[in-house]
Structure 1
């Protein structure tokens, strides 16, 4: 039986980034994937490359995110080449709009708090400053200001995933979709048994299976609590340019469509369903920001599930009981993709995770 250097359990955004990062450095990689039936968080990702709302009270997360943003330009160029088209990476800054005085004051307090934690580039813009920044943007009267982070941006997450998958193929990785993992054995190598009766052997393995992470992590001696948090999205028809910068829950893509989102429904429901009440609330807020959207046609709406840890931060670890077995899970796999394909993959190849992720060990959930 063929023995791979590394088996990645999960072919979504996180697993594909780690797998490509390892394969592009010469490792013989197998990606075990659920295929098209998998509940991919990438399908519901809003597409932001985002730092301004992350890291409050968690400096390690803030630093990990900032480093990811710094590495994204080079990664975007590489992935566009693999995908065969522009993956939509734009990083001219990002906004969080404030509707009314209460939201403005809450955002002001947040910006001040983040300044005290080292986020010196994040700033609060008045309505007048917003109009100076985007003179062609017709904002609604309820928009009183916004926070602005000049390093933030956005991307097409499905094209990112396509780029990683094409990069895996170019690096000679094996993509093995369509069957769940049912057992992991450890002898001279890891032997990964699948529901279709096949097995894969590898010297190392990485559990990066999103909502399936908790079940698989127990097979390598790790307890990593993960729950589903639903997000819903709306996308409109193609429209004339109206929003030059992406915002939290509102962005215009390079194709001209406007994407509206995204909910955080932490209700324990394991289905990626949509709900009219939530969609209408999202749409109403978007129209308050950009009144011209009231005339736009909605083309489709959808829901997806994010894998969320109890404190909403990533979790990375190597197993003490199964050396050479690693776990990785996060809800921000697009923003952090450059880190997962870079230093995290390098650490897995070396057999030691980077010091930058030491704070994200899942043992913190059991103290």
Structure 2
């Protein structure tokens, strides 16, 4: 049967755009269907961290995936900037997780040691610095008196997330992909001769394969092709200041100074369903902690507070799975779309079309949530 495209990717956000970009590099005919700007977009709440250190604690497969993705980011960023003509403002000078007491610092030492022990074949990528070591390493930091030290991830960094998304979509189109915006997918139907028909806002198209990467919309869409993937929204509130002179030389967990000089402060982790409201309590929580770390922020003006929804699985790990009942239909979803962009555009795209081993995906199948089956 003739189809319009080799692959239809449903969802033009950070995950879908990265995979679509990778697939066009593998000479596949790809259609990328994106929804409306008013959709629940995790990219709007993205802190822009390319982060590995400490991620995947007690989850070695996720730890390994995060490290490999972070290590691949420099080459990925250079290539994407060349193809898109868009600067990503990507920097990889390390990332900090501050500790606000000696007890927190001691606990962090144990956690990072245990994290490294999960993957003994990988060279350590993080270390813990006490306050003296931290100030020697970053002499321009003016720390609050409670800061006892921090863990430092050597391969961590940050990027402008909105530029990243624009670059992925631009490079995808330049490679020959087709991007259709404001196309909310209403139905996915398997065809008798193979392939799928996707209907979206008065638009109908056929493809040999379908990849669902629609964030929180993936649960309803994946059910159309026999996939049962539990996802939930998690609200993250953020604050941003006016532009300031340099005061934070590298990004930190919950603090990041952008290339434009603004400082992002965040991020809350709230289980409130689909509520996108901002709260005074959330702002106070974030500001109090930020001031304990960087007291100089007390003189800064806050210019914006907003909230968006993360895409969360029950265990926080990504889901990559193929449908057994609808061969050719797959899902890819995670809450680390920026950090894992290099993986989605590279190894995942190759595995998706059978040009690389799929073994790396085995630990991320949604069957892990099926308690009956696991037992």
Q: Is the 8 A contact 2:54 2:112 kept in 1?
A: no
Find the aligned partners of 1:83 and 1:298 in 2 and give their Cα distance: 33
Shift of 1:226: 0.3
Q: What is the CA deviation profile of residues 54-113 of structure 1, one whole-angstrom value per residue up to 9, with x for unaligned ones?
A: 111111111111111111111111222345342111111111001123322321221121
Find the aligned partners of 2:357 and 2:13 in 1 and give their Cα distance: 21
Residue of structure 2 aligned with 1:228, choices 205, 230, 233: 233
- Partner SS state of residue 353, structure 2: helix
Q: Is the 8 A contact 2:347 2:356 kept in 1?
A: no
Following superposition of structure 1 onto structure 2, how do residues 196-211 of structure 1 map, counting pairs within 5 Å? 196-211=201-216
Following superposition of structure 1 onto structure 2, how do residues 174-253 of structure 1 map, counting pairs within 5 Å? 174-187=178-191, 188=193, 189-194=195-200, 196-253=201-258
Q: Is the 8 A contact 2:53 2:125 kept in 1?
A: no
Moved more, 97-106 or 29-38: 97-106
Residue of structure 1 aligned with 2:307, choices 303, 306, 313: 303
Q: Which residue of 1 aligns with 2:104?
A: 103
Gaps of 5+ in 2: none
Find the aligned partners of 2:93 and 2:165 in 1 and give their Cα distance: 22
- Partner SS state of residue 191, structure 1: strand
Is the counterpart of residue 57 in structure 1 residue 63 in structure 2?
A: no
Q: Is the 8 A contact 1:82 1:164 kept in 2?
A: no
Find the aligned partners of 1:71 and 1:100 in 2 and give their Cα distance: 34
Following superposition of structure 1 onto structure 2, how do residues 1-367 of structure 1 map, counting pairs within 5 Å? 3-118=4-119, 120-187=124-191, 188=193, 189-194=195-200, 196-267=201-272, 269-350=273-354, 354-367=358-371
- Partner SS state of residue 120, structure 1: coil
Shift of 1:288: 1.1
Q: Is the 8 A contact 2:95 2:251 kept in 1?
A: yes
- Partner SS state of residue 37, structure 2: helix
Change beyond 3 A, Cα 1:44–1:82: farther
Q: Is the 8 A contact 1:6 1:27 kept in 2?
A: yes
Instruction: Please give the TM-score of this superposition, normalised by the length of structure 1.
Output: 0.96
- Partner SS state of residue 216, structure 1: helix
Moved more, 59-68 or 111-120: 111-120
Q: Is the 8 A contact 1:235 1:259 kept in 2?
A: yes
Find the aligned partners of 1:351 and 1:223 in 2 and give their Cα distance: 26
Moved runs in structure 1, 4+ residues, more than 4 A?
none
Shift of 1:185: 1.1
Q: What is the CA deviation profile of residues 327-348 of structure 1, one whole-angstrom value per residue up to 9, with x for unaligned ones?
A: 0110001000000001111111
Find the aligned partners of 2:365 and 2:265 in 1 and give their Cα distance: 34
- Partner SS state of residue 219, structure 2: helix
Shift of 1:2: 6.2
Gaps of 5+ in 1: none
- Partner SS state of residue 37, structure 1: coil
Find the aligned partners of 1:181 and 1:322 in 2 and give their Cα distance: 17
Q: Is the 8 A contact 1:136 1:242 kept in 2?
A: yes
Q: Is the 8 A contact 1:227 1:309 kept in 2?
A: yes
| Number of equivalences | 365
Q: What is the CA deviation profile of residues 202-252 of structure 1, one whole-angstrom value per residue up to 9, with x for unaligned ones?
A: 001100000011111111111000000111111111111111111001011
Q: Is the 8 A contact 1:89 1:153 kept in 2?
A: yes
Find the aligned partners of 2:246 and 2:21 in 1 and give their Cα distance: 35
Find the aligned partners of 1:167 and 1:31 in 2 and give their Cα distance: 12
